[in-house]
């Protein structure tokens, strides 16, 4: 993929046209990004005669990873506001969401930011604002990007970056998704449990026994299943709260080394989220989804999206399917022995995806870095700003 194509992917995602179903407008309001201006340099460069670009080695390429819900923290975005167009992103978000996302991200309170309806849009916007910072300080990371992946809601940010959706349309889908997931989570007392296991851990048996325990308490059709595959022997299990309590109380029986409840409102990525599928599907029907110009890997399978229809289908399935992040990391970073790994950038709040990458592939992690969204230095060097 040429550098120009990747630049166009990022520029294309800034389209001012808002999706149907959100507060739409026919012409760009003041402060909206002019896509034509963003594309002008890239188009002019293509029209100039030049030699064919040299083939890049793996070590010259980059991969972008977009975090998901749970990475949010009050103050995120403070380290991004000095960079071009970031405030315009938040202004566009205000129009789509109907509230001041920047104020909530910077000032909190944390309990409001942690609500599913708020944190998913907040992480989505902060991640794409982090891309703008990376683009400004390390343009080669954008121009040489060969693949992207996002964890849960982060997948929407990855698709916007790749040019498959415009920013406002992607945010509208995230808004609908977050509201529907919040409503579904309030219908059943449920949650998510992080489980660090070992080779002899019995994840399947544990879930079966936890479901049987719930039935003994009179809970009909209990849910307890793996919802996230993080790295070898580490899973997130989602389901009814009584099932998760059972697992914590009996963790030694199943050879779990450590368990921890996650600060989320529901059993995401299980059939408990089925009520959220249709609202998201309807929202996605209003969006003009395009072929990604950068390979984007799907949570549901770990493999690249094939076409716009594939994207629309799997984004709906993602709500009720486990996030196969470990499998995604293996797919992206499979290399023959001795081959160089691409530079990996985590774009968004936190460094959780970097920690997971380290456990999945230590050699790939050695070429990892993250974009700081919290610190606001006066005039940092590019490398200092990105750590």
Query: Closest by alpha carbon to 179, among 98, 242, 83?
Result: 98
No. of helices (H) and no. of strands (E), the chain: 17, 10
Any idea what DSSP says for residue 20?
B
CA 51 from centroid of its chain's CA atoms: 37
CA distance 116 to 112: 9
> Cα-atom radius of gyration of the chain, to the nearest Å?
21
Does the annotation count 136 as an active-site position?
no
Does the annotation count 269 as an active-site position?
yes
* Helix or strand run (H / E) with residue 227: strand 224-231
Q: Answer yes or no: are the C-beta atoms of 145 and 62 closer than 8 Å.
A: yes
CA 335 from centroid of its chain's CA atoms: 24
CA angle centred on 181, ends 174 and 108, rounded to 5°: 70
Catalytic residue (choose from 62, 105, 152, 238): 152
Q: Answer yes or no: are the C-beta atoms of 319 and 177 closer than 8 Å.
A: yes
Catalytic residue (choose from 213, 269, 297, 370): 269
Q: Which residues are catalytic?
A: 152, 269
């Amino acid at each position: 993929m040429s550098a120009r194509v990747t630049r166009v992917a990022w520029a294309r995602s800034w389209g001012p046209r808002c999706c149907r179903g959100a507060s739409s407008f026919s012409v760009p309001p003041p402060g909206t990004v002019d896509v034509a201006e963003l594309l002008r340099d890239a188009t002019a460069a293509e029209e100039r005669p030049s030699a064919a670009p040299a083939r890049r080695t793996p070590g010259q390429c980059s991969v972008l990873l977009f975090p998901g819900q749970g990475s949010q923290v009050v103050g995120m975005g403070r380290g991004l506001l000095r960079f071009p167009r970031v405030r315009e992103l938040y202004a566009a978000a205000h129009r789509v969401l109907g509230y001041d996302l920047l104020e909530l991200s910077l000032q909190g309170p944390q309990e409001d930011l942690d609500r599913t309806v708020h944190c998913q849009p907040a992480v989505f916007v902060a991640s794409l604002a982090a891309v703008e910072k990376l683009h400004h300080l390390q343009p080669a990371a954008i121009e040489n990007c060969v693949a992207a992946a996002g964890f849960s809601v982060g997948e929407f940010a990855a698709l916007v970056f790749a040019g498959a959706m415009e920013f406002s349309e992607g945010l509208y889908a995230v808004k609908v998704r977050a509201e529907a997931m919040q409503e579904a989570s309030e219908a059943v007392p449920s949650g998510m449990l992080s489980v660090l296991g070992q080779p002899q851990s019995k994840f399947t048996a544990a879930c079966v026994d936890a479901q049987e325990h719930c039935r003994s308490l009179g809970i009909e059709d209990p849910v307890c299943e793996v919802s996230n595959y993080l790295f070898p022997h580490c899973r997130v299990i989602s389901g009814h709260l009584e099932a998760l309590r059972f697992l914590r109380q009996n963790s030694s029986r199943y050879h779990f080394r450590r368990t921890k409840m996650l600060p989320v409102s529901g059993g995401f990525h299980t059939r408990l989220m089925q009520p959220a599928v249709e609202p998201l599907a309807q929202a996605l029907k209003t969006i003009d989804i395009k072929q990604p110009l950068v390979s984007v890997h799907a949570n549901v399978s770990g493999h690249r999206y094939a076409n716009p229809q594939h994207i629309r289908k799997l984004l709906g399935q993602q709500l009720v399917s486990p996030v196969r992040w470990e499998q995604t990391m293996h797919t992206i970073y499979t290399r023959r022995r001795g081959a160089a790994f691409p530079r990996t950038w985590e774009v968004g709040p936190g460094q959780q995806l970097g920690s997971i990458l380290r456990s999945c592939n230590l050699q790939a992690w050695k070429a990892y870095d993250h974009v700081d969204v919290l610190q606001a230095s006066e005039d940092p060097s590019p490398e200092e700003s990105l750590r």
